[in-house]
């Protein structure tokens, strides 16, 4: 039995991946007070033998020395009639010093709105970052989890309250430029299933892939 080309088959997965709590970690180290960052993110979750492009845009602003607020929109979802916005804050707990890591945490929310039937879903999220910063170089290990307050709406009782993700990455914050690369394991507490597609997993659970970002600092 022959099938149509890879991309056509995989659009489901694009949608699956961008919503599966796997938007990139936008800010790890809070910006300086008053600093504004505008950027774009590209998620590359793995599917079959390749990866897929999930595009998003975001803006962030350092509202104090230790707190940065951000807002973002996922463009891939808009293509299919769903508005996906997220926003939140990242707060510094302690800076990185030498080999001693710094820590920050974040919280916020994600909103999905269907342009077809006006269905709305809201998923709060919280995360923590451990990072090492040396000059413009930042290494990070991050954990994050979305909370599904409407898990009971999932059919046949298959909803889960938490949708966690784990990530490790590198970012270069140099003057007006910031670029980032991160490898993420998403939803490792459940099997991600897409009909007639193979989703590379970790021990049979979740999905994974590289996420990229580029931003300009003002």
Q: Is 118 helix (H, G, I), strand (E, B) or coil?
A: coil
| Residue 49 interacts with another protein (CB under 8 A): yes or no | no
| Residue 160 interacts with another protein (CB under 8 A): yes or no | yes
The residue assigned the tokens 């930042």 is 138
| Residue 58 interacts with another protein (CB under 8 A): yes or no | no
- Shortest separation between residue 172's beta carbon and another protein, angstroms: 28
Tell me how far apart the alpha carbons of residues 90 and 29 are, in angstroms, rounded to a whole number.
Answer: 8
Closest to another protein by CB, 90 or 163 = 163
The only residue of 40, 75, 128, 139 in contact with another protein, by rule CB under 8 A: 75
79: phi > 0 → left, psi -120 to 50 → alpha, else beta; which? alpha
Whether 21 and 164 have beta carbons less than 8 Å apart is answered as yes
Q: Is 80 helix (H, G, I), strand (E, B) or coil?
A: coil
Interface size with another protein, residues (CB under 8 A):
55
| Residue 52 interacts with another protein (CB under 8 A): yes or no | no
Question: Looking only at residues 119 through 158 of this chain, which bind another protein when binding is defined by CB under 8 A?
Answer: 119, 121, 123, 146, 148, 150-156, 158
| Residue 3 interacts with another protein (CB under 8 A): yes or no | yes
Closest to another protein by CB, 21 or 217 = 21
Nearest to 68 by CA among 110, 39, 32, 41: 32
């Amino acid at each position: 039995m022959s099938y149509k080309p890879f991309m056509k088959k995989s659009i489901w997965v694009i949608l699956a991946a961008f919503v599966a709590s796997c938007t990139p970690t936008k800010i790890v180290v809070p910006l300086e007070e008053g600093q504004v960052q505008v950027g774009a993110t590209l998620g590359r979750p793995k599917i079959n033998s390749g990866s897929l492009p999930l595009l998003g845009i975001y803006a962030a602003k350092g509202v104090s020395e230790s707190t940065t607020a951000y807002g973002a929109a996922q463009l891939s979802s808009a293509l299919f009639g769903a508005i996906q916005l997220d926003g939140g804050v990242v707060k510094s707990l302690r800076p990185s010093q030498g080999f001693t890591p710094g820590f920050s945490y974040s919280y916020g929310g994600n909103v999905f709105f269907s342009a077809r039937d006006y269905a709305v879903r809201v998923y709060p999220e919280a995360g923590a970052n451990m990072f090492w910063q040396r000059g413009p170089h930042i290494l990070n290990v991050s954990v994050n989890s979305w909370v599904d307050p409407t898990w009971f709406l999932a059919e046949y009782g298959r909803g889960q309250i938490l949708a966690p993700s784990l990530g490790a990455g590198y970012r270069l914050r140099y003057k007006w430029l910031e670029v980032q690369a991160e490898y993420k394991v998403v939803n490792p507490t459940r099997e991600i299933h897409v009909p007639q597609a193979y989703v590379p997993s970790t021990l049979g659970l979740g999905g994974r892939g590289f996420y990229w970002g580029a931003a300009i600092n003002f």
